[in-house]
Structure 1
């Protein structure tokens, strides 16, 4: 049985991600959503003091259990669904715990908000979210803070057209397209006025072969701001999901690097799915 895993810190952002995951599960016929919380012992961070445990483990566990119970009640009160909701609360490091729970519960997706609680600086993306997205073997869907679920009818694959055959997770993308019957857009963004290179032209033939049954539309755009180009494209075509494949120095790095530009994850209402090769 497949599931969707939603890590939670009990924030409004996490609850919004949980609601998105439930509706996605309904549309894809996934019967269960796991709400996951990992807790650790807080320690002193004062460099003038020796590292010391600040709270008893049993006290931390009790607080975490109360938080999970309240979060589960809030989610259930926010949506009527036949999807089974199950909470998992454990003492663990977040990324390690997520990996283990994904395996134990046969998670198909991890769905996360981009922030924890509180106000977030524009130029940063939540470190937990990006760390998990970079490492996870399971596709991670990152939900912007104000995003509300819409059925996946228009999907864009942001592709750098480099080593397409070796790096594109074809089966995972095809499975989603088969289930949703979504229209597929394949988008390449060139920065710095370099234009379309011979390599891009050659690799575009490979990706055309991989996805020809879906009759995607191809778009080659130029712009100085990568995230702004994707934002504008997503708005124009009413995109419901952006798919990106993390590569070293690739598009994923551009999406999440620190910069003075407006970050796509904060300024788009479109969820971003990070899926590895």
Structure 2
């Protein structure tokens, strides 16, 4: 039984992430844990807990409970798998602290987070904390743009610079993802024009080839001065439905996911990211 944690701020982007997760994991037994976090100054006294404030950002325990129940009702309506179970969670902590608390009690396999439009993570209360989650929580994270709609995962891209050997956790999570959707892996390296791999990079490429020898996979090189444009061309050419990247590559994460250089790059609004941890 898999355990999937979905942080929610009850926004459209959160709802979209939930719906995507239901289809993404439609073929497996899953416990979905719906987590809402409140601001640090929320419910400081018992008197405050019983009062519904006019400010929509402040929720009482009672109202949050009702909203989480509604989220679960919606998920039960949309799921097609009777082996999908749903559990509400509410914490008065920061998002990172709340997730770590849940992970200490529950073996979480994936975190699923929603984002909004071109500006992605920085345009919602939930999104403003996503960078911290990606860099500080050691768990695979599916990042779902608000405009993304589930499609069959025909091809999964893995973006790499070949500058290191990936540990078993990265390899096993990628292999599990390939198995889940019966998808081939497209290993992508964006290189500058006329640049060649070093001997070390070539060895690391060989390690990836060996690691996925039992899975359908291929290696691709795209020459481009712009990382974003190179990926955009590849996503469109190869019908990529999921982009995966290792969290330690902070430059990749910031450029591709958090602060895209080009506002018209389509993959940032349509293609989910799988962020992997070693």
Q: What's the secondary structure of 2:214's corresponding residue?
A: helix
Whole-Å Cα distance in 2 between the matches of residues 18 and 127 of structure 1?
A: 19
TM, length-normalised to structure 1: 0.82
Q: Report the secondary structure of 1:219's partner residue.
A: strand
Is it true that 1:21 corresponds to 2:21 in the alignment? yes
Structure 1 residue 230: Cα displacement: 1.4
CA contact (8 A) 1:247 1:253 kept: no
Say which is worse superposed, 164-173 or 257-266, in terms of deviation: 257-266
Using the TM superposition, give the Cα deviation of residue 103 of structure 1 relative to its aligned residue in structure 2, in angstroms: 3.9
**Contact 1:113–1:129 (8 Å) recurs in 2:** no
Shift in CA distance, 185/101, structure 1 to aligned 2, threshold 3 Å: same
Correspondence 1:2-151 to 2 at 5 A: 2-27=2-27, 29-42=28-41, 56-59=48-51, 60-82=60-82, 83-115=84-116, 121=119, 124=122, 126-151=127-152
Residues in 1 aligned to 2:26 and 2:260: alpha-carbon distance in whole angstroms: 37
Kindly provide the CA deviation profile for residues 146-172 of structure 1, in whole angstroms up to 9, marking residues without a partner as x: 111123331111111011245871111
Q: 1:7, CA displacement in angstroms?
A: 0.6
SS at match of 1:195: coil
CA distance in 1, matches of 2:129, 2:173: 23
- CA deviation digits over 1:11-57, x for unaligned, max 9? 01101100111122222x133211111113448xxxxxxxx99x924
Secondary structure of 2:208's aligned partner: helix
CA shift, 1:218, in A, is: 0.6
Runs of 4 or more above 6 Å deviation: none
**8 A Cα contact 1:25 1:33, kept in partner:** no
Is the contact between residue 160 and residue 188 of structure 1 (CA under 8 Å) also seen in structure 2?
yes
Matched length: 263
Gaps of 5+ in 2: 52-59
Instruction: Give, in whole Å, the separation in 2 of the partners of 1:194 and 1:259.
Output: 25
Matched residue, 1:48: none
The 1:248–1:185 alpha-carbon spacing in structure 2 relative to 1, beyond 3 Å, is: closer
**C-alpha distance in structure 2 between counterparts of 1:183 and 1:106, whole Å:** 27
1:53-109 deviations in whole A, cap 9, x for unaligned?
Answer: 9x9244432332232223333333445542122211222221111122234232211
Residues 265 and 272 of structure 1 are in contact (CA less than 8 Å); yes or no, is this contact kept in structure 2? no
Q: How does 1:125-274 map to 2 (within 5 A)?
A: 126-166=127-167, 169-191=170-192, 193=193, 195-198=195-198, 199-256=200-257, 258=259, 260-262=261-263, 267-274=268-275
Question: TM-score normalized by structure 2?
Answer: 0.82
2:57 maps to none
Map Cα deviations across residues 232-275 of structure 1 (whole Å, 9 max, x no partner).
Answer: 21122111211100225542233246464238687341110001
1:56 aligned counterpart, secondary structure: helix
User: SS in structure 1 opposite 2:161?
Assistant: coil
Instruction: Check conservation: 2:100, 2:137, Cα contact below 8 A.
Output: yes
Question: Please, which runs of 5 or more residues in structure 1 have no aligned partner?
Answer: 44-51
